[in-house]
Structure formats: structure tokens, C-alpha cells
Structure 1
Amino acid sequence: MIAWWRSGKPISGTAAVDERTKRLVMRLSGGEIAVIRHRDVDEVAAHGLLEAGVRAVVNALPFLSGSYPAEGALLLARSGVPLFEIAEADFARIPEGARLVLDEGHLWIEETATALPARRVTADELERRYRRGVANLEERLAQFIDNTLHFAAKEKAFFIRPLLTPVLRTPLQGRHVLVVVRGSHYREDLLAIRGYVEDWRPALIGVDGGADALLDFGWKPDIIIGDMDSVSDRALRCGADLIVHGYPDGRAPGMARLKQLGLSGHVLCAPGTSEDIALLLAYEKGAELIVTVGTHSNMIDFLEKGRQGMASTVLVRMKIGAKLVDARGVSKLYPRRLKWRTLAYLIGAACVPVAALSAVSESLSRLWRLVWVNVKLLMG
């Protein structure tokens, strides 16, 4: 079985297979070999794979094509995760749960006694591809702008008129609303605004996996919106208002997930991304301020999501205007309030050494008694 190994120590593990990386990371366990079909792996997907403790990653598409500077593959390689690329046609030949063995040139499937070509991708090669992606940025930016303007012209009528929103249990009128997307640096941003969330108690909207991000910080989402493909069962069962983002033609595949779990929800059909619709929902429901965490706002963000333009995002931000604030801005401008409980703790802590000194010092004790007598005389 191992006569074809070329060099080095082989890598073995159980295969976890899925075309959608963000769906796969929800069920990965430590030591498995992730088998994906993901061109230009993004940073969020890479973090998810690292947190799951994958032993190696096999990709049926280029980890980094050089079309633009995606950073996920470099993050994996620099973290010591072995990366292998296989032919796209071979993806369907790897069964879920199969025992895999990888070396520098092959992938061996023990159950079917099949050997597939598998090329190890090194960090040096990824660095070269990344530099090629940087060189291609100008061309990609021109294409991106053209696509954005084209679809903005087609979709503007939808975003100009009011959004037909469902009736929800969670009131948003006149409140601050925090919209959380599991995008780049979402953890750092949530940490930075923890004081704001605890003091102002904004309504919490999780966009797909953003609901799990809120739960991880100990906050229960009030509303969960998205296509329901990257949010956990735990989050969906937390009691939030559930809104499935459907296609403009009325299809809403995410409702099947809710029905499987015995849950009910609303369908909101609209073009654009789920995070755009979450922002519009908060705006149309009368939110006073909308704070965002992890949302996508630049070309690289959208290319990593497989979108060739950002028409809906531009239109939504134009409509919402000054009500929209990024979490990083909030963390820099918001002064944490000093709570009475905290103040009481500080006073109590200061009294402890004073009391201790009074107990051992006769002169200090006499001074406190004199103060107390004068206070009683002043109060009559």
C-alpha cells in the first residue's frame, strides 16, 4: 500500500468533505483532513479551519489562483498546516469519513484502494502567487467597478422603495442595533465594543454565523437573518426571530433547514447580500443607530465571497447614511461609563487598608472617633 510514497513522513486522517468551507468548519473535529472545493481561500475560512484543528487541507481548486491577493492559504501555510491540491474532477471520488493518506505526490483512499495525484503546495509557491495577485489588482479593480455600476443600475429600484419587513417580536424603533457578520477581525471588534454593548444594550442581529459569534461572547441574538447555511443549530434554537434571506424570485432554500429543526421563521426576498438586508431591516424598523461588526466593505472582501461587485452594499449605505457606524469607530469614540457598582467596589477597596490601619493605630482610631463626634454634633 505504501510503496508509492516518495519522501517524507506521510500524513493520515479521516476525510471531512464539503464544497462549502464555511459549512464544513461547523462540523470539523481535530485531526481530520478537510477536503474542500474552494478557489482563493479567504481569511475567515482559514481561521475556521485552524480553530477546528485540521491535520491537512486538500483542495480541488487552487488555494490561491493569483487573480487577486487572497490571504487565507498563506495563513494556513504559515501556521504549519500541510496543503495539497488535487484535480477538480477527483473531488467527487473522496467519500466522507474515508481514511486518507497523503504524501508529496499522492492521496491514498484506503477504503477504495485508490491513489489520486495530490501536489503539495508550499508557502514559497503561495508567496509567488500572492505577488501575482497584487500585480493584477488594477485590472480586477476596473472589472469590479464596472460590475458594481452595472448591477447598481439594475437593482436601484428595489433599494429606493421601502423594504417590506416582517412583523417581529424584537422592537427596533428608536434603539441602537448591532449587526454582526463573521467577517475579518470580528472577534477583535466585538472585544473592542464590549463596554458599549453592556451599557447601551443594543438589539443584536446575527447574520448567519454572526449569531454564533454573539453566543460565543455570551450575548443572545435577538434576530438571525441569512440563508441559514453557516449558522449552528444551537444559534437557531436560541429563541431569536428567524428571517430567511430568499432570492428575488421567491425561492428560499434556507427554510428547509428551519423545517428540519422544527422551527418557524419569516422569508425576506431581496437582491444583494444577507448583511445588506440586515442593515436595511434595522433602518426600515426605525433604528436610531446601526453599528456593524465584520461586514464586507472593500473589493477584496467581496472577491473572497465570490462576488464580482458590491452594488447592493453601495446602495444600502447610500440609503442609510449617517445612521451607520463601524464598530471600530464606536470603540474609539465611545467613553465607557463608570457604573455605580464599580464605583462602590473602588470605595470599598479603599476603605479596607484605612480600617486596618485604624485597628492597629491608637492615634488614628482617636482621630476617627473625633470626626464621628463632630459629624453627630453638626447633624444635631
Structure 2
Amino acid sequence: MRSSLRGRRSKSPTPVEPSGQGSEEPAALGEQTLHTLQVLRMDKRTKNLTKRLRPGDIALIDHQDIDRVAGEALVAARPSAVLNAAASISGTYPNLGPEIIVAAGIPLIDEVGAELFEIAKEGELLRIEGGVLLRGDVPLAAGRLLAMDDVVDAMEEARLGLSEQLENFVENTLEFLRKERELLLDGVGVPAIKTDLAEKHVLIVVRGDHYREDLAALRPYIREYRPVMIGVDGGADAILEAGYRPGLIVGDMDSVSDKALTCGAEIVLHAYRDGRAPGLDRIRDLGLGYAVFPAAATSEDIAMLLADDKGAKLIVAVGAHVNLIEFLDKGRSGMASTFLTRQRLAGKLVDAKGVSRLYRSQISTGSLFLLVAAAIITLVGTLAVSPWAGAYWEVLRGYWDNFVFWVQGIFS
């Protein structure tokens, strides 16, 4: 299966379709030219690159099997083109990112080679012609533009080989159970925290698919139950953007802003099973206190296990991974913990993914405004023609005068 995919990729580079610079409409990205100079931004970690990527920039990444989250983050940044040093679709499993990028009208140029990171320079002005990245008239690298037909064909081939990946997923899940059975069954290794979660609702926010819409749809629930909010890495920024404050931040701290880390939330640092914590230096540099949670699980899983161990009454997850394709899309071995974690918490875990699409009011804000305006006009018209209109206006004038007198009394 992989050999056939590689064979199809060995075709000559497809000329790059034009791309725009920051157009609001995704379709417009394919209607302008890339022959003009564009700023190159590059990083081997896609989520780091998207933090500084600006509309119209050329994005250079090294991301084999671009997943959904990475694809959506790149589209949101609106680059003029995405150059990938690796294979965007290796054929290992049907990853969702390339389709998202290509569907948005952003040229995705595949397998330009990792050596480009040594040749090119961050911030320099380059141009693309015919799948070739040029510095002036000097070619730096060449790749193959993935058209939508290419993506669809590659995804279909990947689905044919999905059974092998399912077997690997099951093996990884069993391996995780052997390593972390004490954590899953008895809560061994869960750190002590100051935040009280006992008998409370807990809302865990992950920056996954449709997290903004689902978080907005949960406003009535948040208003009524006031759940303790836990941000998983960048999910803490999502909570702040929605107008709330996280009570806890859980993760390895590689995709959360300093603003979120210093907002007053308690920090639980996700560490490897051997105790190594990639985000430890950053937390110490900021002078923040923290608890360490060593586990082979994902950060969103340890956030759920933490809430459960501390006695949460209900756990609501926003943006978390809920289906098998998403488990595979996030990382085949890394998501082995997710299935078992969800089985452990099945009685109190509620997935809010898609709640924004479950029900949408048919009455728009504009319609409500017109209805209120019509009611006011009707009331005013009725008072105007009523024989008692003068008496009504005198009563209203009296109330108004009393209100003005009361306000003046406060400041006098």
C-alpha cells in the first residue's frame, strides 16, 4: 500500500496554484499569484509555527501525517502556501489535516526535504513557481503540490490499510494497561492539588474540533452550575478567550501562553513516566508553583483522571477526542490511554463535542431586535391615540423626575 502511494507521488511537480495573502474567504486563496515575494516562516513543530505565522506568509513545516488540529491551525493562520518537508499523507492511516488545508484553497507542497531547514532562513523573502521555492532565481527546493484528487486517493488507500493500524492501536492500549493499571484502577500517582473538585462539576477544555462553538453553546450551563474549569495546555487560552478563568491548567505547557499560565490557575505539569517534564524549565522561569503528574497517558486523559480522583461529580469535556479516527489522527501510540480512560470515567464523563450543532435557534438576533422594536412602536402609538395619554405621560414624567432627584442626591 505504501509503495503504491510513493509511486503516485513520484510524478513531476504540479504547478502551484495561485494563493492570496490574508483574504477573508478561503476560496480566494487560490485566485492570486505566488510569483511575488512572501515571508518564509519555518518550524519543525507545527503548533509552534502557527503562533507566529501571519496571513500571506509561506509556512515551512516538517510534519508527517498532518492531523486535523494542525490542519485547522494552519488554515486559521491563512498562509499563502504550506511547504512540508515530510509526507503529508504517508498512507499509515487516513489523517485529516491535508484535506482541510487543500479544501481551504491553500497550496500544500509535499516532501520538499528536511535539508530546506538548513538552506532557508527564517523571515527571508522567497517566491514559489511551479512547485519550486526560489530565492531570487536560485531554486532552494522542489516538491509536489497535492491537489484534492491526490488527497482523496491517498486517504482511500490509507483506509484500506486501516486494519493494521487498528491492530497496533489495540496492542498499544494493552501495553498502556500493563504500564498504568495502578493509575487507572487505584489512582496511584495522582498528585495532591489545592483546588477543591469534590462533588463539583468540572469542565475540561481541549483545543480540538469546534471547541469555540461548543464552549459558546455551554454558556447557560456554565452560568447555572459554575463548573471548575480545567484547561489542557492551549485549552487554558481558549477559556480566557471565552471570558472565563481556568481553575487548573494541565499539560506539558508547550502550547499555552504566558498570559494563561500567570492568570492565577493552579498548574499540574504532565511528566513522562520516568519523571522528565519538558515544560519544567518554563514554569520555573516564570516563578510559578506546580504539581507534577507523571503518566504515559495524554494530557487530556490525565486531566480527566485527576478530576475523577479528586471526586468531581460530573466531568464535561470540550474539544476532546471522541472517536477512533481522531484517536489515530492524534497519534497512534499516544492515544492508547484515551479508550481506557473513557471506560474508567464512563459514568460521569459527558462529551460536549458537537453540542453547538445539536440545536440552533431559528430566531436570529436581528429578528428579536425587530420584534422588540415593533412592540415599543405599538406601545407608543397606542399611548399617543389614547384619551388617557396625557395622564400616562404625567405619571412617567413623575417617575423620571424622581429618578433624576435620586441620582443627584447620591452625588450631592
CA contact (8 A) 1:16 1:97 kept: yes
> Does the 8 A contact of 2:88 with 2:98 survive in 1?
yes
1:91 aligned to 2:85? no
Q: Size of the alignment, in residue pairs? A: 353
Partner of 1:61: 86
The partner residue of 2:174 within 142, 145, 149 is 149
Cα distance in 1 for partners of 2:16, 2:151 equals 21
Q: Deviations over 1:11-35 (max 9, x none)?
A: 5322211111112112212221111
The answer to whether the Cα contact below 8 Å between 2:108 and 2:146 also exists between their aligned partners in 1 is: yes
Residue 287 in structure 1 maps to residue 328 in structure 2: no
Q: Bigger CA drift: 241-250 or 141-150?
A: 141-150
* Deviation of the 1:365 alpha carbon: 9.0
Q: Deviations over 1:119-151 (max 9, x none)?
A: 322222112111212222233223322322233
**Distance in 2 between residues matched to 1:328 and 1:171, nearest whole Å:** 26
Change (3 A) 1:169 1:333: farther
Select which of 213, 227, 240 maps to 2:252. Answer: 227
Name the residue aligned to 1:376: none
- Confirm or deny: 8 A CA contact 1:163 1:280 kept in the other structure: no
User: Over aligned residues, Cα RMSD in angstroms?
Assistant: 3.2
Work out whether 1:296 is the aligned partner of 2:329: no
Q: Which residue matches 1:268?
A: 293
What are structure 2's unaligned runs of at least 5 residues?
Answer: 1-14, 18-32, 362-370, 393-412
1:286-313, Cα deviation, whole Å (9 max, x unpaired):
1110000111133322222223364322
Pair 285,66 (structure 1): closer, same or farther in 2 beyond 3 Å = same
- Give me the whole-angstrom Cα distance separating, in 2, the residues matched to 1:330 and 1:189: 6
Alpha carbons 1:179, 1:204 under 8 Å: kept: yes
* Paired residue secondary structure (1:239): coil
What is aligned with 2:41?
16
> Given residue 93 of structure 1, which amino acid in structure 2 is its aligned partner?
I
Sequence identity (%): 45
Runs ≥4 residues deviating over 6 A:
329-334, 349-352, 363-367
Q: Which runs of 5+ in 1 are unaligned?
A: 1-5, 337-345, 368-380
Of 46, 50, 57, the match for 2:71: 46
C-alpha spacing 1:46/1:7, structure 2 compared with 1 (3 Å):
closer
Cα separation, partners in 2 of 1:332 and 1:306, compared to 1, 3 Å:
closer
Give the distance between the partners of 1:306 and 1:333, measured in 2 at CA: 28
Give the 3-state SS of the residue equivalent to 1:302 in structure 2.
helix
1:179 paired with 2:204, answer yes
Q: How does 1:355-366 map to 2 (within 5 A)?
A: 357-358=382-383, 360-362=385-387
Aligned to 2:185: 160
Aligned twin of 1:197: 222
Give the aligned partner of residue 370 of structure 1. Answer: none
Q: CA deviation at 1:39?
A: 1.2
Greater Cα offset, 237-246 or 86-95:
86-95
TM-score normalised to the size of structure 2? 0.76
Q: Secondary structure at the match of 1:228?
A: coil
Is the contact between residue 169 and residue 332 of structure 2 (CA under 8 Å) also seen in structure 1? no
Give yes or no for contact 1:144–1:299 (8 Å, CA) kept in 2: no
CA distance in 1, matches of 2:116, 2:295: 36
Preserved CA contact (<8 Å) 1:11 1:103: no
Aligned with 1:225: secondary structure?
A: strand
Pair 266,164 (structure 1): closer, same or farther in 2 beyond 3 Å = same
2:62 to 15, 37, 44: 37
Q: Aligned partners of 2:382, 2:273: CA distance in 1, in Å?
A: 74
Q: Please report how far the alpha carbon of residue 255 of structure 1 lies from its aligned counterpart in structure 2 after TM superposition.
A: 1.3
For residues 211 and 127 of structure 1, what CA distance do their matches in structure 2 show? 35
Matching of residue 125 in structure 1 with residue 150 in structure 2: yes
Instruction: Write the distance in 2 (CA, Å) between the matches of 1:264 and 1:363.
Output: 69
The SS at the match of 1:178 is strand
Instruction: Render the CA deviation track for 1:315-363: whole Å, top value 9, x for unaligned.
Output: 32232231111115877999x9xxxxxxxxx99x978855762453127
Q: C-alpha separation between the residues in 2 aligned to 1:329 and 1:274?
A: 21
Relative to structure 1, the CA distance from residue 164 to residue 59 in structure 2 (aligned partners, 3 Å threshold; closer, same or farther) is same
Seen in structure 2, the aligned counterparts of structure 1 residues 109 and 306 have a Cα distance that, compared at 3 Å, is farther
Equivalents in 2 of 1:221, 1:252: separation in Å? 22
Contact 1:207–1:226 under 8 Å retained in 2: yes
Q: Is the 8 A contact 1:73 1:126 kept in 2?
A: yes
| CA 173–329 in structure 1, closer or farther in 2 if over 3 Å, else same | farther
Contact 1:40 1:65 in 2 (8 A): yes
* Paired position in structure 2 for 1:116: 141
The equivalent residue for 2:403 is none
Aligned mates of 1:179, 1:229 — CA distance in 2: 18
State yes or no: 1:236 paired with 2:261.
yes
SS of 1:321 mapped into structure 2:
coil
Q: In structure 1, what is the Cα distance between the partners aligned to 2:312 and 2:343?
A: 16
Aligned to 2:365: none
CA apart distance, 1:275: 0.5
Q: For 2:282 and 2:177, how far apart are their aligned partners in 1? A: 31
Aligned ranges for residues 314-353 of structure 1 at < 5 Å? Answer: 314-328=339-353, 353=378
Q: Check conservation: 1:182, 1:209, Cα contact below 8 A.
A: yes
CA distance in 1, matches of 2:312, 2:355: 16
Give the Å deviation of 1:168. Answer: 3.8
SS at match of 2:109: strand
Is 1:104–2:130 an aligned residue pair?
yes
Name the TM-score, length of structure 1 as normaliser: 0.82
